[in-house]
Structure 1
Amino acid sequence: MCGITGIMVTGDNQVDQSALRLMTEQIAHRGPDADGFFFGAGVALGHRRLSIIDVDGGHQPMLSRDERVVVSYNGEIYNFQQLRRELEALGHHFTSHSDTEVLLASYLEWGRECVTRLRGMFAFALWDSRSRELFLARDRLGIKPLYFANLADGTFIFGSELKALMVYPGISRKMRIDALEDFMALGYVPDPKSILDGVEQLSPGYTLTVNRETGQQRQMPYWSLDVVTPAIAGGQPDELLERLEEAVKLRMIADVPLGAFLSGGLDSSTIVGLMSRNNPEPVETCSIGSDDPLFDESGHAQLVADHFGTHHRMRLVSAKDSSLLDVMASVYDEPFADLSALPTYRVCALAREKVKVALSGDGGDELFAGYRRHRFHMLEEELRSRIPLGIRRPVFSALAAVYPKLDGAPRFMRAKSTFEALARSSAEAYFQSVSKTPDSVRLKLYSRKMSDRLFGYHPQERFTKLATEVSDAHPLSIIQYIDFKTYLPGDILTKVDRASMAHSLEVRVPILDHKFVEWGLRLDPETRIRDGIGKAVFKDATRGFVPNSIIDRPKKGFNVPAANWLREELAGEVRNLAASERLLDTGLFSRKAMQKMVDEHLEQKRDHHTSLWSLLMLERSMEQLDLSYA
């Protein structure tokens, strides 16, 4: 795992070498083992290396034998050995045992189409002096990040993290208004946007080609999820476990110590079990325990560790870990409001004490419909399918308007959100179900200036567009498609990448092997949610392999007791929000509305913890990046 940076200038301009070195230094945590630089005519590439495969070889940036092509690469190509054999048969010769050299040879042999042959996680930049083009690519699911910007003087810069770009002279520090709205709604900034005006993320499954002579830029998709084609035959439990085991075995290739996260949930337990079955020595596993019994899963993790005979370590941390508040802004750069980022950061630190690579169970809920919102959406969808929207919208909107919001009541009494969902289209309803701050609350927070500058933009437009792309798919497959395009890369994978890289730890995600994903999303949707139970086919596949008590227990998640935390340890921080100069000086927020939200939460009249946490993270990120909005 590594970090990459680069600069391309126009005409006879020369690359600022000191700027590239400074950019690369900002992401030293992504690769503490070595750095490297390439300086050519108008183009420069930087690299920070975390040595995983071919520790002594594979240094980057790596040049082709004729020195006309050079690559800087972040990630792992798990099928590099197979590709190497294929390339050797075509006449290529290798001087190292690294996947980087295989990537370089793949480009020399197949050109830009090489990305379609890669199986892994990656973000890379490749300069081809023959065509005078810079070629960038990002993996299919968005496991590895890549930011880029076009500056006013024609300079093109890129880097693995936003902090690498922020030190380049002349970079914009103005917030992008629609990205701010996205963040307040979702808790993250979805690609291809960033929080900065003028800086973008390369979307998962895309390539970007930049011609130095003409300045022309082309973004092209090279992969897409297929959720429309009718379900494939098969999908028996044995086949699922066999396919996942193959993905796990590929990700166990490493020349450094390797382990796994073990939360005690079904996904991580299955990954650990498959690793144990393919490793002669006990697998190194680790988990974080909480001092709050309501949020502690360490007992379940220990049960799985005993079952598979792993070498397990657990560390108890406070559920109310306020020391990480400022650290999160530094780690994530952009505002990021997933509260599970805090325990994720801690478990990555624990893992790095023993290993350099860890496997995780991320992606199982997205692939096999394991979230509670999936089940609720499908229940609502049954009624939506029977009553036209033209009738539902006025009827259920009226019911929602008069029904009180009962945050603390039993779930069956909280009908207001259900009425609101039934009054919307399917995509609109799903957007609201994943929102950190719903429309009714968010719009009250904004000033007239914010509302005017949005020009009618609403974040649910992306959800509606994505749903339209696969409108012929099963309703469950549609919302899973939306998850794979938004929540998975924007939240889950961003969370794990930044938290792990902050500790120079590589995390591999077998469930998100693109071949396994392609197969899993083609299974009959009825096998994912059956009789109101999510991940049904995955549970069938693991029964008899993972303890039943793990399979059958309710999903808990990797969370913290945020509502009370913000009323107790962080009450002072919450009170200060209503007078935050960083937020209020933008002119985008209403002081009165913020004060009301703070008072309602502290006085336990309403639970606003997700919105307040988003505002706290926004404030810290604005300070970290010195952001403004004029």
Structure 2
Amino acid sequence: MCGITGVMIAGDGQVDQASLRHMTNLIAHRGPDDDGFFFGAGVAFGHRRLSIIDAEGGHQPMFSPDERVVLTYNGEIYNFQQLRRELENLGHRFKTSSDTEVLLTSYLEWGADCVNRFRGMFAFAVWDTRTQELFLARDRLGIKPLYYSTLPDGTFIFASELKSLVAYPGIRKKLRIDALEDYMALGYVPDPKSILDGFDKLPPAHTLTVNKVTGQQRMRAYWNLDVVTPAVGDEQPGELIERLEEAVKLRMIADVPLGSFLSGGIDSSTVVGLMSRNNPDPIETCAIGSDDPLFDESGHAQLVSDHFGTHHRLRLASARDGELIDTMAEVYDEPFADMSALPTYRVCALAREKVKVALSGDGGDELFAGYRRYRFHMMEEELRSRVPLAIRRPIFGALGAIYPKLDRAPQFLRAKSTFEALARTSAEAYCQSVSKTPDSVRLRLYTQKMHNRLFGYHPHDRFKKLAAEVHGAHPLSVVQYIDFKTYLPGDILTKVDRASMAHSLEVRVPLLDHKFVEWGLRLDPESRIRDGVGKAVFKDAVRGILPDAIIDRPKKGFDIPMASWLRAELAPELAKLQQSERLLDLGVFDRKALGKLVDEHLTEKRDHHTSLWSLIMLDKSLERLDVSYS
């Protein structure tokens, strides 16, 4: 795994070498093993390498035999050995055994269409002097990041992380208002936006070609999820395991020590089980537990470890992890409010003590409908399908407005959110269900100036657009599609990439092998949630591989007791938040409303911990980025 940077100057200018080296060194954590630079006529690349395959032969940037094409690349191409054989049959010869050379040669043979042949995770850039074009590409699911910007003078810059781009000389860092609204609602900034105006992320499954002479930019989608085509028929549990095992085995190819995360959940446990039966030695596994028994799942991880005979290590998360708040702002650059980033950061540090590559179980909940919100959404869909929106909106809207919000009441008494959901369209309701800070709280937090600047924009606009792209699909498939386009790359994969790369650890995600995803999403949606049980088809498949106690236990997320932490050990952070001149001087948040939010949480009148954590991380991130409002 690596970090990449690049600059392309419009016209006849030359790239300042010191600037590019500085940009590249800022992401040295992504690749501490080696660095490399290319300085051409108005184009320059920087590279930081984490050596995983062919440590001696994979130096980057890498040049074509005639030196007219140069590559800088972050990722792994898991089918590189198969592609190499195909390219050799076409007459190509190789000097190294690296996947980097296979990627470069694939570009030389197939051009921009090379991405269709890759099975892996990647973000890369190719400078082709023959066409005077810069070619960028990102993997299908968005596992690896790629930021870019076109500056006012026509200079084009790109990098693996935002911190590198904002270090380029003369950058003006202006807050992007609709991205701020997205962040406050969702807890992350969804692709292709960033928190800064004029800086974007290349969307997953897209390429971008920039012509140096004309400045013309061409973006192209080369792949998409298919959730509309009718299901393939009856699912076969044996086939599921066979396909997943192949994906796991591909991701066990490495020239360095390899292990796995093990939370004790069904996904990571299955990955560990399949690794164990394809490796003669015990697998290195690790987990983060909690010193709060209500949040601790380390016993389940130990059960799986004992079952498969792994070498298992455990650390506990505690309120002391709040000391990582400033570190999180540095690691993620953009504001990022997923609280599980704290234990994820810890487990990556723990894994790196023994291995350089770790497999994870990420993606299983999105693929096989494991989240509880999917089940709730489908129950609401039953009612929405029977009553027209024109009737639902006024009736349930009124009920939602008058029904009290009972945070501490039993689940069956907390009907306010259900009423509000039934008053919305399906996509609007799903957006609200995944919101960290609901509409009602954002409405009172924002100043009138902020409301005016939004011009009516709402994060559910993107959800509605995505739902329209798959019109006619099963309602469950629609919201899964939305998650694959928003939550998965924007939250889950961002969380793991930054936390792992901060410790120079490569994380591989077999459940997000694109061939496995394509097959999994073609299964009958009714097999994903059956009799109110999520991930049913997956549980059927792993029965007999995992202990029944792991398969049948209620799902719990990778969570921490943040609500209580903010009332105790982290209460000083709330005091600092109320006095944050940086946050309040933006003109976005109302001082009195913010104070009331803090007071209600501290006095236990309401539970606002997700909103408050979002605000804390926003404050820390904007401080580091030194962002202006206008």
The yes-or-no answer on 1:355 pairing with 2:355 is: yes
Written as runs of structure 1 = structure 2, the 5 A alignment for 1:242-281 is 242-281=242-281
Partner of 1:182: 182
Query: Partners of 2:366 and 2:53 in 1: how far apart?
Result: 29
Query: Partners of 1:101 and 1:589 in 2: how far apart?
Result: 51
SS in 2 for 1:87: helix
The yes-or-no answer on 1:549 pairing with 2:549 is: yes
Deviations 1:277-333 (A, max 9, x none): 000100010111211111111111011001001111112232552111111000000
SS in 1 for 2:157: strand
The yes-or-no answer on 1:149 pairing with 2:149 is: yes
CA contact (8 A) 1:292 1:319 kept: no
Query: Partners of 2:314 and 2:439 in 1: how far apart?
Result: 40
Partner of 1:571: 571
Deviations 1:560-587 (A, max 9, x none): 1011110111112112222210111111
* TM-score normalized with structure 2 length: 0.99
Partner of 2:612: 612
CA contact (8 A) 1:172 1:197 kept: no
Partner of 1:314: 314
Partner of 1:467: 467
Partner of 2:527: 527
More moved, 171-180 vs 485-494 = 171-180
CA RMSD of aligned residues (A): 0.7
Query: Partners of 1:105 and 1:12 in 2: how far apart?
Result: 29
Partner of 1:365: 365
| Number of residues of Structure 1 aligned to a counterpart in Structure 2 | 630
SS in 1 for 2:11: coil
CA contact (8 A) 2:148 2:157 kept: yes
Query: Partners of 1:258 and 1:148 in 2: how far apart?
Result: 32
Partner of 1:282: 282
CA contact (8 A) 2:334 2:621 kept: yes
More moved, 56-65 vs 314-323 = 314-323
Q: In the alignment, residue 149 of structure 2 is paired with which amino acid?
A: A
Partner of 1:24: 24
Structure 1: runs of 5 or more not aligned: none
Partner of 1:105: 105
CA contact (8 A) 1:282 1:311 kept: yes
SS in 2 for 1:259: strand
Query: Partners of 2:442 and 2:579 in 1: how far apart?
Result: 18
Partner of 1:408: 408
* TM-score normalized with structure 1 length: 0.99
Deviations 1:54-83 (A, max 9, x none): 011110000000000000000000000000
SS in 1 for 2:231: coil
Q: In the alignment, residue 489 of structure 2 is paired with which amino acid?
A: P
Written as runs of structure 1 = structure 2, the 5 A alignment for 1:429-578 is 429-578=429-578
Shift of 1:173: 1.1
CA contact (8 A) 2:7 2:158 kept: yes
Shift of 1:495: 0.1
Query: Partners of 2:605 and 2:212 in 1: how far apart?
Result: 59
Q: In the alignment, residue 122 of structure 2 is paired with which amino acid?
A: F
CA contact (8 A) 1:172 1:196 kept: no
The yes-or-no answer on 1:220 pairing with 2:220 is: yes
Deviations 1:240-273 (A, max 9, x none): 0000000000000000000000000000000000
Shift of 1:235: 2.3
Query: Partners of 1:392 and 1:585 in 2: how far apart?
Result: 40
Query: Partners of 1:534 and 1:233 in 2: how far apart?
Result: 19
Partner of 2:592: 592
CA contact (8 A) 2:319 2:570 kept: no
Query: Partners of 1:294 and 1:579 in 2: how far apart?
Result: 33
Question: Compared with structure 1, are the counterparts of its residues 465 and 395 closer, same or farther at alpha carbon in structure 2 (3 Å cutoff)?
Answer: same
SS in 1 for 2:361: coil
CA contact (8 A) 1:290 1:319 kept: no
CA contact (8 A) 1:320 1:561 kept: no
Q: In the alignment, residue 388 of structure 1 is paired with which amino acid?
A: P
Query: Partners of 1:614 and 1:317 in 2: how far apart?
Result: 20
Structure 1 runs, 4 residues or longer, greater than 2 Å off: none
Query: Partners of 1:533 and 1:254 in 2: how far apart?
Result: 37
Query: Partners of 1:496 and 1:70 in 2: how far apart?
Result: 29
Tell me the percent identity.
Answer: 78
Query: Partners of 1:440 and 1:600 in 2: how far apart?
Result: 15
CA contact (8 A) 2:319 2:569 kept: no
